[in-house]
Structure 1
């Protein structure tokens, strides 16, 4: 069986996605590879298919137990013999699985990095033929990445102890150029074949909102715009998670809380309820993000700002893995910046000054993203080193914002002048006090009340001046210097603004004190929105069949068939085996398991 036959038989596809075929061919030839592909971009097939076609067993290093189970369940549904080894197994079950591995009955074995250096697993690995070591979420090995995990250092040690070195394949969705080089170095990849298919997720709509009342904003959003879609709401603290979940539950929404403080059984139950569509919305800390492979998440809201752009991209990327239109909304407030800076300060280690400065710099990049008036998609892609050729993507809150541009050049000039006349030695808080004519004793002790710019913006609120300063930073007119207590300094570009050779504008919406509420039309994101009336009815019928089958077999619904497959099935209305196998996502194994049931459902619906 060649790679295309295997792709159709086990995964239901006739063509490869961008980047997949090259990675698969190189792995099969025995070469190391590094794949940087966005969430939902098909990374898993890049190592699952070579494992299936190679002699021996592939070891897949995965960071979370829940991810392992989902992947293995999906592979078994597709007819690929696989298993996982982790701490959730009883001694008896562990023994059975180890026996199956030793007997060569598993093409893929998923393990946590912590298990690699244990005596028992090393003994097993030394007795079997290992066709491949695949490292998922490979960015976790870099201490400069957003999700560093010391246990990932066990991976190269494990590989060095194997009787024969297999090809090593590393995959991630989030890696800056620096992190990419660290992955290659720390994993000891040997002249790897590299593929980076891009970070753009065209089906995701990005928006930054600055509501005065976050709770009201979220409640209105969940009720008014997404009464049916599944969603995740990320919060920075456990306290915020529990508080928000309770408030949404009071309003009658199907919501559960999730954070690392819960007992393992409780976390497992919450996750299963979400995966099996028994719970519609999860309010969680970032402990929930990486372990979720639910493909039909229609929205992700960040109630609090995450620690950097990589974390934001990773967590927002939980939305729309099935390719359906989905929304990613980041709720911004200055208090969130303070929280993140405190976290950085509290986690600081002796001699870790460089890392602390990097963390603060990465946080500031995300703050700048929140204040940019340019395309949000271009802002994200630019961070990862990609350029966005189209100025207006038409798929983000900034590009669709039609509010009036207000000329704030005079106000900006006053702020720049104050920074200059105070010798570029102070932070935003002090500059704001000088501009507003504060009677603060420190301002007087420093003699700043004698500056010519003292009190020249006394008629402006602290919030407005702070907003302008943040936009000046985001647009490159002001630079931040220093560590935990950064000072403001003028950039080369600020000269043009001071001389009146450049103008500074802010959108009216950003200046308004009023809460955004539900401005603008709710965006349609229902999967069946593009179907005809007849096909839409059939789609709903197929969804009900899938739901019943999933409940009977105790599987998440998407492991039966994904939404995209059901959509195509509803449009094509196949009448026999041959036509059903033409539908993307319907492989031979899936047809054996479910095809006749869905064919009968289509016939029954059509009368």
Structure 2
């Protein structure tokens, strides 16, 4: 290990390993297989690059993207490590030179596309002294994965042809079922699975719903101006959107360019290099951009459209804040995105699982509980506390002690041997006389009818929340049945309490609920020589009217602390109002204009434009 630490310092400049890196490297040195899940920027590459340097021979790294290979090989060579890449863009004479160098043992890491693996499996690869095989972006292998690529499904041939060579499969995103599928597809022998924490605490998470094109553009410009001189990526679903958005942002003096697969290679390469070298601040790109590009100072990521899965979303936001510094993410979500994505999925090879993944993404966007807990739960990581760094935590919805409600649901699931899914769980709780419930004797359970006071919609929402909070997980290999997690067991047996968000009928996405006009009662400020007293009284009146109209307590609209901060700072523009303590994006959108108008009225200022 001392020798490995010396190599780590010599070639990479690090004096210590990150969590799990040393264990993974030791397993490779023992010639054993591994599956490694580490978030973007978590240090996956070191896990195979360092043992490749240490061991005699050449490490074969299967990599899906040319940009990824180019970036990795360039970085290794810059560190004094002999590396090369074989893919469809490698010139023929260069290919022959690379092959010769590899066979002579002069290349420590050979990056190769899955297509090239299949074409060289009978000629080049058997002639190499292969030290290890690393398969990057391993989720592409899985039939359940989100980047299904036929060539990846043939990579099991590597274990068949080189049974004594250790294989390490690496990915930043894979749920439990995808992990199992990767192991089976690659025919890994008794592998150890290493899962790092998916909790990127430095990333803020924000979702905005139902904005039209004009409002979305205004929000993006406002966001970029708030992140002056910071690099960011805007991901778009359509190629045309990348070009149109880049052209529009340029008119606002924002240094930006577009990137998508339909552009000529030289234009794409220039866009990528300009972004990497900080010649531009913003790149508007389709989702392929960023894979394998180790740019540590990306400070923000915007999703112009909703991604098709949580795996995609998590990987893409992971390109921000790789240096561990505070970074922001913003996702726009609309019903139109959902329609387009469903249309794409209808023609996909993995329709059923892709539709399920889309539903998970939709529920994430619509959630009114901590978004980070939803992400962590999706990847099988439990968290007992809200993060405080997402839009929901900063603008919490009204909650209640849901411990007893959760215990009823978990008890019903456990009493059936965890052999029921959403429909039967709700049926048991609501005392349904469905044939299946009666036939299986579930009507005799102690929890039968324990939740009759709640509607089907309410139970469905709360069961989703239980899944998102990590108390339940869905076993897709067993007819989508619920399984109670260790964290859920704590709640079930009274070892911890839980809060749930109160169920409300969902808003129309395309026409989100906005603050109604207030014609009912005019605000009549008290007569006082103190402008602060007059303003505070006026704010209290307005808050009370809104609360009455929405049938909520006034403190849900804004707390007393927030009103005091408004009086102190006297914001007279929406931008100023956004800086008030307790005013998040949602409340800014809902209440900002009417409160600013009132403040200007009390201060006897003209109406804002």
Give how far 1:290 is off.
Answer: 2.2
- Tell me which of 201, 221, 224 is aligned to 2:223: 221
Distance change in 2, residues 1:343/1:473 (3 Å): farther
Aligned residues of 1:35 and 1:172 also touching (Cα < 8 A): yes
Distance change in 2, residues 1:522/1:177 (3 Å): farther
5 Å-filtered alignment, 1:556-571, equals none
In the aligned structure 1, how far is the partner of 2:49 from the partner of 2:114? 18
SS at 1:247's partner residue? helix
In the aligned structure 2, how far is the partner of 1:87 from the partner of 1:107? 21
* 2:388 is the counterpart of 1:394: yes
Aligned residues of 1:113 and 1:155 also touching (Cα < 8 A): yes
Match of 1:194 in 2: 193
Give how far 1:161 is off.
Answer: 3.1
1:23-65 Cα offsets, whole Å, 9 max, x none, are: 0000011111111111111000000111111111000011111
5 Å-filtered alignment, 1:322-333, equals 322-333=323-334
Aligned residues of 1:233 and 1:284 also touching (Cα < 8 A): yes
Aligned residues of 1:57 and 1:106 also touching (Cα < 8 A): yes
Distance change in 2, residues 1:247/1:72 (3 Å): same
In the aligned structure 1, how far is the partner of 2:316 from the partner of 2:505? 29
Match of 2:114 in 1: 113
5 Å-filtered alignment, 1:422-433, equals none
Match of 1:497 in 2: none
Match of 1:146 in 2: 146
Match of 1:157 in 2: 157
In the aligned structure 1, how far is the partner of 2:285 from the partner of 2:85? 26
Aligned residues of 1:204 and 1:328 also touching (Cα < 8 A): yes
5 Å-filtered alignment, 1:455-604, equals 474-476=461-463, 503-504=502-503, 511-512=513-514, 520-521=578-579
In the aligned structure 2, how far is the partner of 1:502 from the partner of 1:134? 44
Distance change in 2, residues 1:228/1:127 (3 Å): same
Match of 2:88 in 1: 87
In the aligned structure 2, how far is the partner of 1:322 from the partner of 1:282? 19
In the aligned structure 2, how far is the partner of 1:388 from the partner of 1:68? 35
In the aligned structure 2, how far is the partner of 1:48 from the partner of 1:517? 51
5 Å-filtered alignment, 1:211-360, equals 211-212=211-212, 213-223=215-225, 225-345=226-346, 347-348=347-348, 355-360=350-355
Distance change in 2, residues 1:182/1:503 (3 Å): closer
SS at 1:34's partner residue? strand
Give how far 1:339 is off.
Answer: 1.2
Aligned residues of 1:51 and 1:58 also touching (Cα < 8 A): yes
Match of 2:101 in 1: 100
In the aligned structure 1, how far is the partner of 2:193 from the partner of 2:318? 22
Distance change in 2, residues 1:39/1:384 (3 Å): same
- Tell me which of 361, 365, 368 is aligned to 1:370: 365
Aligned residues of 1:372 and 1:474 also touching (Cα < 8 A): no
SS at 1:123's partner residue? coil
Give how far 1:107 is off.
Answer: 0.8
Listed as ranges, the gaps of 5+ residues in structure 1 are 350-354, 408-468, 480-500, 524-607
Distance change in 2, residues 1:170/1:406 (3 Å): closer
In the aligned structure 2, how far is the partner of 1:87 from the partner of 1:502? 52
- How many matched pairs? 430
Aligned residues of 1:67 and 1:293 also touching (Cα < 8 A): no
Match of 1:166 in 2: 165
Aligned residues of 2:31 and 2:165 also touching (Cα < 8 A): yes
SS at 1:99's partner residue? helix
- Tell me which of 363, 372, 378 is aligned to 1:383: 378
Give how far 1:502 is off.
Answer: 9.9
- Aligned-pair Cα RMSD in Å: 3.0
Distance change in 2, residues 1:16/1:511 (3 Å): same
TM-score, length of structure 1 as denominator length: 0.66
SS at 1:63's partner residue? coil
Give how far 1:389 is off.
Answer: 1.5
Aligned residues of 1:297 and 1:321 also touching (Cα < 8 A): yes
TM-score, length of structure 2 as denominator length: 0.66
SS at 2:32's partner residue? coil
Give how far 1:239 is off.
Answer: 2.0
SS at 1:322's partner residue? coil
Give how far 1:297 is off.
Answer: 0.9
Select between 59-68 and 315-324 the one with higher mean Cα deviation: 315-324
5 Å-filtered alignment, 1:403-442, equals 405=398
Give how far 1:337 is off.
Answer: 0.9
Match of 2:39 in 1: 38
1:476-528 Cα offsets, whole Å, 9 max, x none, are: 4899xxxxxxxxxxxxxxxxxxxxx99535999974369x97564499xxxxx
Give how far 1:160 is off.
Answer: 2.5
Match of 2:130 in 1: 130
1:131-181 Cα offsets, whole Å, 9 max, x none, are: 00001110100121111111112322244234x631101111100000000
Give how far 1:124 is off.
Answer: 2.1
Aligned residues of 1:371 and 1:470 also touching (Cα < 8 A): no
Distance change in 2, residues 1:129/1:326 (3 Å): same
Aligned residues of 1:58 and 1:130 also touching (Cα < 8 A): yes
Distance change in 2, residues 1:470/1:97 (3 Å): farther
SS at 1:148's partner residue? coil
